[in-house]
């Protein structure tokens, strides 16, 4: 009966083409049909607000009753200062507990007790066409649910974001030297300069650009390497933290990306996930990070990327459960 009600609720507004777009997607019939899941979204998702603008910019998933929340790392780190709302309560001064760059997940702690975390014991594999519900827009104290359907089997999303130094290189007369340094990169923070001649990486000789690139391919964002170099008549050893390519240079855009609204709508990181649930839901970069539920109110994962106009990725519940345990053990 619940599925029939939802189908009717979705069909009626879509047929009424004279209605404004937002009414067709989030009209009263839709909201009424999804009201049981709205309660779960209200209790088990967090909303992050920019302190400077007081505007919501990301969701989170509550994973403990004493204030642990997980969310999308690459989006939250773009905001210097923020506060969190869970349900109707506001929490200041959240603390970063840990992060995992492979999954693009950050764990945050707020000073809270008695929260309602998602239930990892409910997680299950979902078949194509299964209805799921995520956070749509938020109105300060009220989460608006948004429906979608599972559109592919669980799978890995290759690509990732390789580790980079943040320099341009030049080969000349048998020497490999720094030709440019990207602002904000690990190289810039380590004080590499244009003209530095690179000799060794972690004690091994660098003969050419290909040697260095091959070495970096075995590294991950966040790893630190030691570069031996000469600057004028001085030999220096500098420690450089590698960064994810997309953080410095953005993610390569396809034609479909451009049609989907670009950076204003899509997540800055959309590839390189070990395992995802793919669902067709109209989300954007501001509405990922929160939990997703089935129509019978079972928690099944956390939204991790708005990919294009109607496609989104979520970390499946089982994988998220393992990740949360790993993050909790981080020193």
Cβ-based neighbours of 121, under 8 Å, separated by 6 or more: none
CA 258 to chain CA centroid, nearest Å: 19
Name the percent of the chain lying above pLDDT 90.
62
Over the chain, what is the mean pLDDT? Answer: 86
Q: Provide the β-strand partners of residue 171.
A: 176
The model's confidence at residue 260, banded by pLDDT at 50, 70 and 90, is very low
End-to-end CA distance of the chain: 49
More confident residue, 248 or 168: 168
Sign of CA dihedral 235, 239, 243, 247: negative
Q: What is the pLDDT of residue 298?
A: 95
Mean pLDDT of 137-165: 85
- Integer angstrom CA distances of residue 203 from 226, 228, 229, 246: 8, 8, 11, 28
Q: What is the CATH number of domain 34-157+256-328?
A: 2.40.10.120
Write out pLDDT tens, residues 103-129: 999 999 999 999 999 999 988 889 899
**Would you tell me how many other CB atoms lie within 10 Å of the CB of residue 174?**
7
**pLDDT surpasses 60 at 257:** no
Looking at domain 163-247, what is its CATH homologous superfamily?
PDZ domain (2.30.42.10)
Alpha-carbon span 115 to 276, nearest angstrom: 26
Query: What mean pLDDT is predicted for residues 123-144?
Result: 87
Confidence tier at 269 by pLDDT (50, 70, 90): confident
Smallest CA-to-CA distance from 45 within 129, 116, 103 is with: 116
> Does residue 237 have a pLDDT over 80?
yes
pLDDT at 161: 66
Listed residue (291, 318, 310) closest to 71, CA to CA? 291
Q: Where are the domains of the chain?
A: 34-157+256-328, 163-247
- Among candidate residues 149, 179, 171, 155, the one with its CA nearest the CA of residue 271: 155
Six token digits for residue 312: 């989104």
Which tens digit of pLDDT belongs to each residue from 22-66? 455 556 766 677 878 999 999 999 999 999 999 999 999 999 999
| Interval 59-87 mean pLDDT | 96
Tell me the C-alpha distance between 60 and 109, whole Å: 11
What is d(CA 264, CA 284) in angstroms, rounded to the nearest whole number?
8
Q: What pLDDT is attached to residue 253?
A: 53
Between 10-24, 56-70, 76-90, 189-203, the lowest mean confidence (pLDDT) is in: 10-24
Contact 67, 101 (CB under 8 A): no
């Amino acid at each position: 009966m619940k599925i029939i009600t939802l189908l009717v609720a979705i069909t009626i507004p879509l047929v009424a083409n004279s209605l404004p777009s937002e009414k067709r997607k989030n009209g009263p019939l839709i909201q009424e049909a999804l009201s049981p899941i709205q309660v779960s979204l209200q209790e088990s998702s967090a909303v992050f607000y920019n302190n400077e603008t007081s505007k919501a910019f990301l969701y989170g998933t509550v994973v403990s009753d004493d204030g642990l929340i997980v969310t999308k790392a690459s989006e939250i780190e773009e905001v210097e200062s923020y506060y969190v709302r869970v349900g109707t309560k506001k929490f200041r001064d959240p603390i970063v507990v840990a992060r995992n760059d492979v999954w693009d997940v950050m764990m945050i702690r707020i000073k809270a007790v008695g929260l309602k975390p998602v239930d990892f014991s409910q997680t299950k594999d979902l078949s194509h066409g299964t209805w799921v519900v995520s956070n749509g827009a938020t109105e300060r104290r009220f989460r608006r649910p948004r429906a979608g359907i599972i559109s592919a089997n669980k799978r890995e999303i290759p690509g990732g974001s390789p580790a980079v130094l943040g320099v341009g290189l030049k080969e000349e007369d048998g020497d490999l030297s720094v030709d440019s340094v990207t602002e904000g990169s690990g190289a810039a923070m380590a004080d590499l300069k244009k003209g530095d001649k690179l000799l060794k990486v972690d004690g091994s000789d660098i003969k050419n650009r290909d040697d260095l690139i091959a070495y970096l391919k075995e590294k991950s964002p966040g790893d630190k390497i030691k570069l031996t170099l000469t600057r004028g008549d001085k030999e220096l050893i500098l420690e450089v933290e590698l960064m994810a390519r997309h953080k410095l240079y953005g993610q390569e855009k396809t034609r479909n990306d451009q049609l989907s609204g670009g950076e204003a709508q899509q997540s800055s990181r959309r590839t390189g996930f070990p395992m995802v649930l793919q669902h067709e839901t109209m989300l954007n970069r501001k509405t990922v990070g929160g939990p997703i539920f089935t129509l019978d109110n079972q928690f099944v994962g956390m939204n991790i990327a708005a990919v294009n106009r109607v496609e989104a990725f979520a970390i499946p519940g089982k994988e998220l459960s393992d990740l949360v345990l790993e993050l909790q053990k981080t020193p």
